[in-house]
Amino acid sequence: MAEIVPTVETELAHAADKLQSFYQHLPRLLLQLLLAGVVIVLGVLLLRLVRKLLKKRMMRETNLTVRQEKQRDTLLSLLSSVAGYLMYFFIALVVLGIFGVDLTNILAVAGIGSVAIGFGAQTLVKDIISGMFIWLEGNINVGDIVTVAGQTGQVEDITLRTTLLRGTDGSLYAIPNGDIRTVICRSHGTHVAQVNVTVAHGQDIARVTEILQDECRLIQKDLKLETEPQVLCSIANDARCLTLRVEAPCDADESWMLERTLRTRMFDRMRREDIKP
């Protein structure tokens, strides 16, 4: 029992020494936290300023075509992404320096483990390189309607690592650039809205085609389309029905809305004309 008492007293003494040491270093720790907070806030504000200046500088260019505007927005997105990565890296170095971390030792450890880090970062490097090629080749630009990696939507942002797509239902897809293999772009050139219409066998196909074409003329007038939609007869046939197709040239941004309108108007006209689908 006599041996336990000195042990307890020793532990209490150690705890008191640690507490006293903590109180002694507390002002320095608080100062370091304050400086780190100031650096982070200033870094974030500086990053916002840099991005605002970049946007202001690039928006000065006027009289651009739609394609050139999309390429400008894509370049702005990439430059903003690069500025963000560089600023956050700089902030991390300064904060570590404030807390007394020896950056030389960190760099030495990074050099020793560079091979392992390289293997672990293969995917990241692949995404960054793919992002650079996406911008250089210009196959995808901000604002384009595309299908990539099995997802379809409008390109909202292209960074060094990911491409952001906004789906038709509002979902936001973040697709790593390294996963982009095949690109289906609906925004290059004139897009064609297509709607298939089925007509049961045993009906006068010439009459059906004439009725649907008349509805196409009404649609052109109502929507003020530059080109009248056309009815293509007999694109498919099976034991139950014949398939017709209605096509209308349009901009990519308007294709889905126009297809919905064509589909609704065609089937409504068929119902009024007692045409069996």
| Tens-place pLDDT, residues 49-79 | 888 888 888 777 777 666 667 777 777 777 8
User: Of 212-216, 251-255, 264-268, which range is least confident?
Assistant: 251-255
DSSP 3-state assignment of 129? helix
Residue 163 has pLDDT above 80, yes or no: yes
Residue reference for tokens 């389309």: 225
Residue 116 has pLDDT above 60, yes or no: no
The domain locations on the chain are 19-112, 120-185, 191-272
CATH number 3.30.70.100 is the correct assignment for the domain at 191-272:
yes
Torsion sign over Cα 177, 178, 180, 181: positive
Architecture of domain 120-185: Roll (2.30)
Report pLDDT for 13: 62
Sheet containing 241-250, strands listed edge to edge, beginning at the edge strand earlier in sequence: 191-200, 241-250, 230-237
Per the model's pLDDT, the better-predicted residue between 5 and 252 turns out to be 252
Residue reference for tokens 């650096």: 39
Beta strands in 119-272, from DSSP E residues, in sequence order = 145-148, 151-158, 162-166, 172-176, 183-185, 191-200, 230-237, 241-250
Phi, psi (rounded to 5 degrees) for 110: -65, -35
Share of the chain above pLDDT 90, in %: 7
pLDDT band of 2, cuts 50, 70, 90: very low
| Topology annotation, domain 19-112 | Helix Hairpins (1.10.287)
Identify whether the C-beta of residue 211 lies closer than 8 Å to the C-beta of residue 273.
yes
Average pLDDT over residues 159-169: 83
Residue 138 has pLDDT above 60, yes or no: yes
Per-residue tokens: 210: 């004439």
Q: How far is CA 27 from the centre of its chain?
A: 45
How far apart CA 213 and CA 15 sit, in angstroms, is 91
For residue 131, give the H/E element and its range.
Answer: helix 122-137
Would the pTM of this model clear 0.95, i.e. be above it?
A: no
- Between the CA of residue 95 and those of 26, 33, 43, 83, 89, what are the distances in Å? 18, 9, 11, 18, 10
